[in-house]
Copies of this chain bind each other. A is one copy, B any other.
Amino acid sequence: MGITKSEHFSEHQNELANLLKALGHPARVAIVEYLIQHKQCICGDIVSELPLSQATISQHLRELKQVGIIQGNIEGNSICYCLNPSVFEQINQYMGVVIESVNKNKCC
């Protein structure tokens, strides 16, 4: 197999899983952190900052874009990337609910 049985799970479960999966690779975490560190949109030069080929980074950027984690605006002949905070807020909120409900029902 190798195919995830998405149809058996709720839309919410699939969406959340896709979001977390997109962040579930060190190169993509590194891209997010690079965007944070630079405190602004980055036009170009992500490739030179990471130890991966241009093709590979382009692929990772596409995955991050697909789930809305980053946004890319064309700026001349380069592309300006920035983070979309609402996605992180969504994850944050979900984790908050988990934490709250676990703390309310300790048993192990």
List A residues at the B interface (Cβ < 8 Å): 4-6, 8-10, 13-14, 16-30, 32-33, 36, 39-41, 50-52, 71, 73, 80, 82-85, 88-89, 91-92, 95-99, 101-105, 107-108
Subset of 28 A-B contacts with CB under 8 Å: A4-B25, A4-B26, A4-B27, A6-B26, A8-B51, A10-B26, A13-B26, A13-B33, A14-B26, A17-B23, A17-B25, A20-B20, A21-B21, A36-B97, A36-B101, A39-B101, A39-B104, A41-B107, A80-B108, A82-B107, A85-B99, A88-B95, A88-B98, A88-B99, A89-B95, A89-B99, A91-B91, A92-B92
CB distance from A76 to the nearest CB of B (A): 15
